[in-house]
Amino acid sequence: MADQSIYLQDPSDHEFPVSTRVASTYNPLHTFELPKGEEKGYSQQFADMYFLRLVALKPTVEKIAAEAWAEFELAGEKARQVERVLDVRQGELCWMVGTVFMELPLKPNVLDDLVKEHWIAAPPAREKYISYDDKDKAFLEDESGRLRLTGAHLKSHLLVTGCIVAVMGSENAAGEFEVVDIKFPDLPAQPERWARDLGAKKKKPPLCGKLGIVSGLGVNVDSGDTLLHDLLVEYLLGDIPSPADVSQISRLIIVGNSMDHASPIMSREDFDAAKRTKKFGQDIHDPVPSELLDDFLAQLLPTIPITILPGETDPANVTFPQQPLHPALFPTSRAYINPPTENDPTPNWLDSVSNPWEGDVDGWRFLATSGQPIDDVFRYLPGDDRLVMMEHVLRWRNAAPTAPDTLWSYPFQDKDPFVIKECPHVYLVGNQPRFETAIIQGPAGQTVKLISVPKFKETGMLVLLDMETLEAECVKFEVPEPK
Amino acid sequence: MAPPKRQSNRLAGATRSATPKGNVKPKATQSTLAFHGAGGIRKPGAAEPGKDVKDKNAEELSVEVAEPEKEVTEPEEEVATPVELEVESPAVAPEADPTLPPEEAAARAVTDAQIKEFWEGKEKERRAPRVHQEGLSVEEKLCRQWDTDARYGPCMGISRIKRWRRAHGLGLDPPIEVYAILLREQKADKQAYVDKLMSPRAGEEP
């Protein structure tokens, strides 16, 4: 008989090393959460939002412009400030502050939707709203009126609808304003690291690990293989032996589009496709994507705290700012979320937050969005340099400048939360085409790390941000194709 | 103990006096006068509330100060007609209440003469007098001028008093006389005149 001692052995007493995960200090802000129930009204107009934005940023821009152009002289003429856009006199060098409005004929038009309904072939989807011809116009607007901006200098600046800028120039014979120079608010004041957590007490801050950032998980039944997701779970749980120390990853932020085709409002393309196939029960909410995501989260949650933002394809409201994903979508992971009615300010291990989101992780101030504002800004500007667009969004001090023009938004009436009041240390944007990082500097010594996170479903990338040095690296998961 | 009993008496008395006049408005649209001390339980004319009542209402006051137009002050209104209430208001005008925000306290201290003087100042800025406003009171003229003042934002889709509070919150320094008039209003959330004209109910009787 063979040696049977190798079979049926008692559990060994061998002590395997257990590594504990580094703790994550977390202090979110609720800037973008809308009031619930009756306090959230929709009877107001969007003009209030533009007014609030102008009132919030006009003093800053005026100060910057006054300092910059105090001694400016062109052909012996000094520039003076005019209060209202319509006070401009022809031939006089002056400057004023207002909101930029881009009139682009290729912007979404309800007539296009009608065409799509009545004709068999829909016109091809446009990637950008700019048409590179003379039909695109830029205007400067304030409460008195609008003035068309022209000039060769205009092309050297990136402008989208909704930026508050100071424009200097003079009106020409055609009634258009020829631009000489443009100034925008630039980065706001940046809080110190650990400002909100430690405050005045000079306690020693805890040692921090790394932050895992992933976006565009795209979980759904027919979204292809879930092997990538399983690999991600195993990696984060430490099941895969890897050279990196996974216990250093203290928190995971999922930046949008966790579920694929799960938005209750179908996009135009999906709707047209659905109309042709006429499947029964088409418009009923499909619970499968959220169940799959729930399984994914439930595997991770016992060991790692997660912050999840809704995205364009998630079952959250379509208007910006998107409200947190409701705990009802996560039957198993619900145990780790604070119930929505509880007023406990300390978040639990699964924090479902709004999109965009502002908060403190390990002392650093984060501003994260699931990509919709940057994707919309992309449609207004030539080229595909997302980092430049992200930098401009911060320098315009507006997290969603194109809301409410081409980005659906809630009609704010009391204050516009998209105006960035405190400069973040890290600006995260999810669902972008590539993984890119950059560091930008501000006039008062602010430094912001910009990170554009690619879609996990397509690229398999998990971004790891070292919380001590703010260096970003990425881990790539790949499933090799069978030959 | 005592408060609920007084409230029920008040309501009973209110209905009795309201019926002869025949203009009993339904409760839902009942205008509210924002007497600051209204936990809902005070006789109009009672100058100093009892010590214990004040303590009891202290928390309610601090909570309700933020939204004075939502305060339920039915007991006071149903006792007298709108005209009488306006006359009564100076008499019951509270002394400096520390729980009120400073702008509201200042607004309540504004007198009619002050409002008229403010309006004269505005009229002097123009070269010609305003036409088509002969039938309006000074208060209404001032409110309409407040509506169309572009510095404080669009006037459509927002009530006048909310617009004033928003302008104040944003640091735009809106005139306190306008706030005084708006606080004395019958209907707490009065819309701008232009807004009323543009609304679907423009053809109805005011």
Q: What is the DSSP string of A190-224?
A: -PPTTTTTTTTS-PPPPP--EEEEEB---B-TTSS
**Domain residues for B113?**
102-125+137-198
Q: Is B151 in CB contact (< 8 Å) with chain A?
A: yes
For the record, the structure tokens of B44 come out as 């109009």
Average pLDDT across chain A, whole number: 86
CB contact (8 A) between residue B158 and residue A413: yes
Specify if B153 maps to a domain. Answer: yes
Q: Is B194 in CB contact (< 8 Å) with chain A?
A: no
Q: Give percent of chain A above pLDDT 90.
A: 38
Sheet containing A249-255: give its strands across.
A350-352, A306-309, A249-255, A210-214, A461-466, A472-476
Give how far A361 is from chain B: nearest CA, Å. 30
The reported pLDDT for the residue numbered A365 is 93
The reported pLDDT for the residue numbered A317 is 87
C-alpha triplet B109, B10, B52: angle, nearest 5°: 65
CB contact (8 A) between residue B153 and residue A56: no
Query: DSSP string of chain B?
Result: -HHHHHHHHHHHHHHHHHHHHT----GGG------TT-SS---TT--S--HHHHHHHHHHHHHHTT-GGG---HHHHHHS-HHHHHHHHHHHPPP--TTS-HHHHHHHT--HHHHHHHHHHHHHTSSSPPSS-TTS-HHHHHHHHHHT-GGG---TTSBHHHHHHHHHHTT----HHHHHHHHH-SSTTPBPHHHHHHSTTTTS--
d(Cα A419, Cα A424) in Å, to the nearest integer? 12
Q: What is the pLDDT of residues A181-194, one digit of tens each?
A: 999 898 999 998 88
B131 DSSP β-pair partners: none
CB contacts, 8 Å: A417 with chain B: none
- What count of other Cβ atoms lies within 10 Å of the Cβ of residue B48? 9
Q: What is the arithmetic mean of pLDDT over A369-382?
A: 92
Write the residue in A45, A55, A56 that is nearest to B157 by C-beta.
A45
The reported pLDDT for the residue numbered B135 is 83
What chain A holds in terms of domains, given with CATH numbers, is 26-42+191-275+285-476 (3.60.21.50), 69-183 (2.40.50.430)
Q: Is A52 in CB contact (< 8 Å) with chain B?
A: yes
Give how far A50 is from chain B: nearest CA, Å. 9
The reported pLDDT for the residue numbered A154 is 86
Q: What is the pLDDT of residues A458-475, one digit of tens each?
A: 899 999 999 999 999 999
CB contact (8 A) between residue A44 and residue B157: yes
The reported pLDDT for the residue numbered A197 is 77
For the record, the structure tokens of A273 come out as 């496709």
Q: What is the pLDDT of residues A89-147, one digit of tens each?
A: 888 899 999 999 998 888 877 777 777 777 666 666 778 888 777 778 899 998 888 99
d(Cα A312, Cα A13) in Å, to the nearest integer? 50
CA atoms within 13 A on the CB side of A259: 28
| Per-residue DSSP letter, A75 | T
d(Cα A481, Cα A442) in Å, to the nearest integer? 45
A140 DSSP β-pair partners: A100, A147
CA-nearest residue to A44 within chain B is: B157
CB contact (8 A) between residue A48 and residue B158: yes
Q: What is the pLDDT of residues A406-452, one digit of tens each?
A: 888 999 988 889 999 999 999 999 999 999 999 999 999 999 999 99
CB contacts, 8 Å: B147 with chain A: none
- What count of other Cβ atoms lies within 10 Å of the Cβ of residue B49? 16
CB contacts, 8 Å: B166 with chain A: 413-414
Interface of B with A in 171-190 (CB under 8 A): 172
Q: Is B169 in CB contact (< 8 Å) with chain A?
A: yes
Give how far A45 is from chain B: nearest CA, Å. 6
Please state whether B140 falls in left (phi above 0), alpha (psi between -120 and 50) or beta.
alpha
DSSP-derived 3-state class of residue A267: coil
CB contacts, 8 Å: A144 with chain B: 150
Q: What is the pLDDT of residues A252-305, one digit of tens each?
A: 999 988 888 777 776 666 666 666 666 665 566 677 888 889 999 999 998 899
Task: Please report where in the chains the tokens 């994903």 appear, as a residue.
Answer: A325
The reported pLDDT for the residue numbered B38 is 47
φ and ψ at residue B54, rounded to 5 degrees: -65, -45
Specify if B181 maps to a domain. Answer: yes
Q: Is B157 in CB contact (< 8 Å) with chain A?
A: yes
CB contact (8 A) between residue B153 and residue A44: no
Write the residue in B154, B162, B172 that is nearest to A45 by C-beta.
B154
Specify if B77 maps to a domain. Answer: no
Q: Is A42 in CB contact (< 8 Å) with chain B?
A: no
Instruction: Write the burial class of residue A418 (CB in 10 Å: 0-12 exposed, 13-18 middle, 19+ buried).
Output: buried
Angle between helices B112-124 and B138-147 (to 10 degrees): 60
In this prediction, the residues of chain B whose per-residue pLDDT falls under 70 are 1-99, 186-188, 201-206
Specify if B120 maps to a domain. Answer: yes
Specify if B19 maps to a domain. Answer: no
Give how far B47 is from chain A: nearest CA, Å. 35
Q: Which of A36-45, A72-81, A261-270, A441-450 shows the lowest per-residue confidence on average (mean pLDDT)?
A: A261-270
Give how far B17 is from chain A: nearest CA, Å. 34
Specify if B192 maps to a domain. Answer: yes
Q: Give percent of chain A above pLDDT 70.
A: 90
Write the residue in A48, A56, A143 that is nearest to B157 by C-beta.
A48
CB contact (8 A) between residue B154 and residue A413: no
Q: Is A41 in CB contact (< 8 Å) with chain B?
A: no
| Sign of the torsion formed by the C-alpha atoms of B103, B105, B109 and B115 | positive
Q: What is the arithmetic mean of pLDDT over A337-364?
A: 82
Give how far B192 is from chain A: nearest CA, Å. 13
Task: Please report where in the chains the tokens 């012996």 appear, as a residue.
Answer: A76
CA-to-CA dists, residue A186 to A61, A183, A401, angstroms: 9, 8, 14
CA-nearest residue to B199 within chain A is: A43
Q: Is A86 in CB contact (< 8 Å) with chain B?
A: no
CB contact (8 A) between residue B157 and residue A51: no
For A111-121, b where at least 16 C-beta lie within 10 A, e where not — what string?
eeeeebeeeee
CB contact (8 A) between residue A47 and residue B158: no
The reported pLDDT for the residue numbered A288 is 82
User: Are the C-beta atoms of residues A100 and A140 closer than 8 Å to each other?
Assistant: yes
Q: Is A47 in CB contact (< 8 Å) with chain B?
A: yes
Q: Is A143 in CB contact (< 8 Å) with chain B?
A: yes
Query: DSSP string of A317-366?
Result: -SSBSBPPPPGGG-TTGGGGS--TT----S--SEEE--BSEEEEETTEEE
Q: How many domains does chain B have?
A: 1
CB contacts, 8 Å: A415 with chain B: 169-170
Residue B34: closest CA among B108, B145, B84, B142:
B108
CB contact (8 A) between residue A48 and residue B150: no
CA atoms within 13 A on the CB side of A471: 3
Give how far B206 is from chain A: nearest CA, Å. 21
The reported pLDDT for the residue numbered A343 is 65
CA-nearest residue to B159 within chain A is: A44
The reported pLDDT for the residue numbered A428 is 94
Specify if B147 maps to a domain. Answer: yes
CB contacts, 8 Å: A55 with chain B: 153, 170, 172
CA-nearest residue to B154 within chain A is: A48
Kindly indicate the confidence band of residue A456, based on its pLDDT and cuts at 50, 70 and 90.
very high
Q: Which of A55-59, A193-197, A376-380, B45-49 shows the lowest per-residue confidence on average (mean pLDDT)?
A: B45-49
Single-letter amino acid code for the residue at B29: T
C-alpha triplet A384, A385, A390: angle, nearest 5°: 120
Task: Please report where in the chains the tokens 């002590």 appear, as a residue.
Answer: A15
Specify if B161 maps to a domain. Answer: yes
> What number of C-beta contacts closer than 8 Å exist between A and B?
33
